[in-house]
């Protein structure tokens, strides 16, 4: 079988770590001997064993490793962090050949993993399904290459492109346009990202909790814009049950799980992304409202947009953000259509 066959399996394994490995990348590893997989593993959680360690630990007969090949989606680490260098482990096993999907863009690795393995005499082959391997870690790569989190915009809209009917004379109060399938998927996405942001108006009107309640896994860091601290303390966001960051121009003492971050608000988008980068937040979902979403679009600081469109029409209200993209994928979710746009 081809190297691509085994690398594809490594990619599938890497994706099992989605939402659990940050600030580390997702990585998958396969060990092959005479065309058969004899070991495999993936990085399951930040601080735990890396993919290569798990793969070698799963090998029953290590006597064949000198004739075995290793396939790993990302360049093995070469530095001591919470775990020892995986490149050292590979060298110690004296394997036949190592196939690597993509280079690690983190400056503390960036080629040194290749060098350590190849200098030991083990043949290294790079660029196997390179683009597919890079796509696994777009959040990690954006963080290290652009010094900011990967930004996902998300909103639900009516068939006539309104996100909220309440500014319309025809409004009958809050109207949901998300199908049950869309709501579950939204919570799955929350589990996969580091942080989630909502603006002042959306927080006040919708009173969201911004937690993951419909999918197994974690909830992201909740962030709310409250420039003058006018939002009611009775909102779900201020229940102090989950880590929450309040963006404001005022000073206020931290509580158990709620931190007040004083900013200038000269360009809130840039100020926020700079701060999140400084605390190792690699991804951010922006869930509204329209003004907040549009501010990221206008600053050209977004990477992906997920737009749920209902069959319902509002015939007035708050218009959806104005966004342009040449890349679009579409999926059906009950009576909703999900459009995924790339910047």
Residues belonging to the active site: 52
Quickly list H helices, 65-179.
86-93, 112-118, 130-136, 138-146
Bridge partner residues of 100 (DSSP): 72, 126
Q: Distance between CA atoms of 333 and 338, rounded to whole angstroms?
A: 7
Neighbouring residues of 3: CB distance < 8 A, sequence distance ≥ 6: 69, 71, 99, 125, 128
Angle between helical axes of 290-298 and 268-278 (0-180°, round to 10): 80
- CB-based contact 323:297 (threshold 8 Å): yes
Q: Distance between CA atoms of 232 and 203, rounded to whole angstroms?
A: 10
Q: Distance between CA atoms of 270 and 253, rounded to whole angstroms?
A: 24
Q: Distance between CA atoms of 158 and 42, rounded to whole angstroms?
A: 41
- Cα 220 to chain center, whole Å? 10
Strand 69-74, strand 28-33: pairing: antiparallel
Q: Distance between CA atoms of 219 and 70, rounded to whole angstroms?
A: 35
Q: Which residues of 53-89 are buried (b: 16+ CB within 10 A; e: fewer)?
A: bbbbeebeeeeebeebbbbbbbbbbbeeeebebbbbb
Q: Distance between CA atoms of 29 and 6, rounded to whole angstroms?
A: 9
Q: Distance between CA atoms of 276 and 147, rounded to whole angstroms?
A: 10
Neighbouring residues of 222: CB distance < 8 A, sequence distance ≥ 6: 195, 196, 210, 211, 237, 242, 243, 244, 245
């Amino acid at each position: 079988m081809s190297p691509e066959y085994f690398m594809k399996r490594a990619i599938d394994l890497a994706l099992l770590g989605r939402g659990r490995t940050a600030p580390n990348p997702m990585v998958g590893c396969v060990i092959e001997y005479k065309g058969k997989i004899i070991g495999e593993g993936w990085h399951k959680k930040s601080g735990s064993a890396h993919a290569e360690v798990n793969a070698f630990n799963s090998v029953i007969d290590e006597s064949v490793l000198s004739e075995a090949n290793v396939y790993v989606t990302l360049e093995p680490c070469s530095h001591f962090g919470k775990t020892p260098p995986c490149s050292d482990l590979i060298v110690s096993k004296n394997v036949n050949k190592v196939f690597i999907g993509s280079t690690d863009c983190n400056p503390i690795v960036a080629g040194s993993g290749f060098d350590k393995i190849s200098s030991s005499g083990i043949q290294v082959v790079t660029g196997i399904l390179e683009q597919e391997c890079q796509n696994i870690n777009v959040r990690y790569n954006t963080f290290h290459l652009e010094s900011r989190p990967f930004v996902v915009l998300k909103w639900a809209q009516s068939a006539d492109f309104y996100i909220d009917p309440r500014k319309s004379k025809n409004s009958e109060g809050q109207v949901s346009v998300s199908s049950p399938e869309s709501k579950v998927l939204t919570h799955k996405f929350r589990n996969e990202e580091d942080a989630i942001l909502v603006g002042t108006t959306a927080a006040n009107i919708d009173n969201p909790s911004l937690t993951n309640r419909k999918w197994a896994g974690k909830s992201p860091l909740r962030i709310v814009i409250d420039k003058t601290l006018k939002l009611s303390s009775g909102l779900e966001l201020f229940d102090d049950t989950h880590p929450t960051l309040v963006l404001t121009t005022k000073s206020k003492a931290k509580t158990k799980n709620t931190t007040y971050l004083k900013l200038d608000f000269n360009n809130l988008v840039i100020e926020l992304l700079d701060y999140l980068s400084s605390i190792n937040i690699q991804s951010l979902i922006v869930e509204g409202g329209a003004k907040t979403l549009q501010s990221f679009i206008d600053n050209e600081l977004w990477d992906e947009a997920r737009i749920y469109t209902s069959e319902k029409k509002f015939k007035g209200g708050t218009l959806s953000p104005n966004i342009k993209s040449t890349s679009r994928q579409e999926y059906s979710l009950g009576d909703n259509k999900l459009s995924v746009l790339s910047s």
